[in-house]
Amino acid sequence: MRAAYLTGHGGNEVVAVGERPLPVRRAGEVLVRLRAATANRVDLYMRDSGAGITHALPMIMGLDGAGVVEELDSDERGLHIGQRVVVHPGIACGRCEFCLRGDDVLCTSLKLLGEHRDGTFAEFVSLPARNVFPLPEAWDDVQAAALGVNHLTAWRMLFTQARLRSHETVLVFGIGGGVSLAALQLAKVAGAKVIVTSRDAGKLERAVQMGADGSVHSASQDIARTVLELTGGRGVDVVIENVGATVWSAALKSLVRGGRLVTCGATTGDQPGADLRRLFIRQLKVFGSTLGTLAEFRDLLALCERSPMRPVIDSRYPLGAVAQALDRLESGGQFGKIALSIE
Ligand SMILES: [Zn+2]
């Protein structure tokens, strides 16, 4: 089968597109014929380093994906051959303390597609049936594929970690990125107010068109001061953040007393000043978060089934143009997901 895979680490030279063996489906697994996947920041990390993530080369890239069921156990219930499906990229053991309490994303031996094992930039992937979900009927393959990492991550951040409520205000950093746009969309569906930041005025304009209630041009405006102005001096209830060191202080200063900050990334560095005095005096709460559980994915898909919301797709590339897709992601110029069509 055709696939995009890593032959080493460091730049697009190590990304090959060519033939790889068809995955062997084991009992309990579903073989999915993929039609679409999207690029995520972790794909760049795996391409360039992969340090700290146990994996073997060559490895097929890609975490999220959508396609159709090709082959499954004869007694598998709930799925059938030819059914359109979307995959959850986290394969958990099902037996550890965390799996048993339903927190499978904390599994001590969690294996992620495209990080620990062959991923979705391929014609086929085989994975446990519990990781394969029917996709929302009216959705195309690219839109569905886009849910599996970014929307799932944003869902857990907003609803499981921050426990966002409809009368609250959320500050979303770096609008244009996949998780940030997903957070804007999901927070609006939940009825909350959303303020967004970007260094790019054009991205802010697009976010306001999508329903953002306020925006901060971080290249020319002081973030915390502007957020306070926009909230009548109060501050926001929740911050959704994946930029890291350069905005950490502004993020904490933008929170109302007792506010919650959820972080899922540290693109600009992971060792900011902790500002401990502010943390305890104002009783702020800081949550780390990454991806989401199978149950959270099921809830997200149920919402998508009856919501007009659709993930924003920046651009679409054929699988053979994976290098251009990764370049586009690395440029930071995108607004929404960078998708791969797999024919
Ligand atoms: Zn486990």
* Long-range contacts of residues 74-80, Cβ cutoff 8 Å, at least 24 apart: 76/30, 76/129, 78/134, 79/30, 79/129, 79/132, 79/134
The residue-averaged pLDDT of 282-310 equals 97
CA separation for the pair 210, 118 (Å, rounded): 35
Residue 69 banded pLDDT, cuts 50, 70, 90: very high
Q: Is the peptide bond before 23 cis (omega within 30 degrees of 0)?
A: no
Cβ burial, residue 136 (10 Å; 0-12/13-18/19+): buried
CA separation for the pair 176, 207 (Å, rounded): 8
CA separation for the pair 155, 116 (Å, rounded): 23
- Can you give the pLDDT at residue 137? 86
- Can you give the pLDDT at residue 267? 86
CA separation for the pair 106, 291 (Å, rounded): 10
Neighbour count for residue 9 (Cβ, 10 Å): 14
**Quick one: which of 296, 320, 324 has its CA closest to 149?**
296
Determine the distance separating the centroid of ligand 1 and the alpha carbon of 316, expressed in angstroms: 35
Residues 182-212: tens digit of each pLDDT: 999 999 999 999 999 999 999 999 999 999 9
Instruction: Determine the 3-state secondary structure of 305 from DSSP.
Output: helix
Determine the distance separating the centroid of ligand 1 and the alpha carbon of 4, expressed in angstroms: 29
Please, where are the H alpha helices in 177-244?
A: 178-189, 201-209, 223-230
Q: Taking 90 as the threshold, does the pLDDT of residue 249 lie above it?
A: yes
Residue 343 banded pLDDT, cuts 50, 70, 90: confident
CA separation for the pair 343, 327 (Å, rounded): 21
Determine the distance separating the centroid of ligand 1 and the alpha carbon of 218, expressed in angstroms: 41
CA separation for the pair 143, 4 (Å, rounded): 20
Determine the distance separating the centroid of ligand 1 and the alpha carbon of 104, expressed in angstroms: 6
- Can you give the pLDDT at residue 73? 97
In terms of DSSP bridges, do strands 313-318 and 337-341 run parallel, antiparallel, or are they unpaired? Answer: parallel
Determine the distance separating the centroid of ligand 1 and the alpha carbon of 134, expressed in angstroms: 23
- Can you give the pLDDT at residue 252? 97
Neighbour count for residue 212 (Cβ, 10 Å): 21
Residue 16 Rama label (left phi>0; alpha psi -120 to 50; beta)? beta
The pTM of the whole model exceeds 0.85: yes
Please, where are the H alpha helices in the chain?
A: 41-48, 97-100, 141-145, 152-155, 178-189, 201-209, 223-230, 245-253, 276-281, 294-305, 322-331
Determine the distance separating the centroid of ligand 1 and the alpha carbon of 103, expressed in angstroms: 8
Determine the distance separating the centroid of ligand 1 and the alpha carbon of 24, expressed in angstroms: 23
What 8-state DSSP symbol labels residue 86? Answer: E
Determine the distance separating the centroid of ligand 1 and the alpha carbon of 337, expressed in angstroms: 30
- Can you give the pLDDT at residue 334? 96
The residue-averaged pLDDT of 302-331 equals 97
Residues 130-185: tens digit of each pLDDT: 999 999 889 999 999 999 999 999 999 999 999 999 999 999 999 999 999 999 99
CA separation for the pair 143, 296 (Å, rounded): 18
Instruction: Determine the 3-state secondary structure of 315 from DSSP.
Output: strand
Residues surrounding ion ligand 1 at CB below 5 Å: 92-93, 96, 99, 107
The residue-averaged pLDDT of 335-340 equals 98
Residues 5-58: tens digit of each pLDDT: 999 999 999 999 999 999 999 999 999 999 999 999 999 999 999 999 999 999
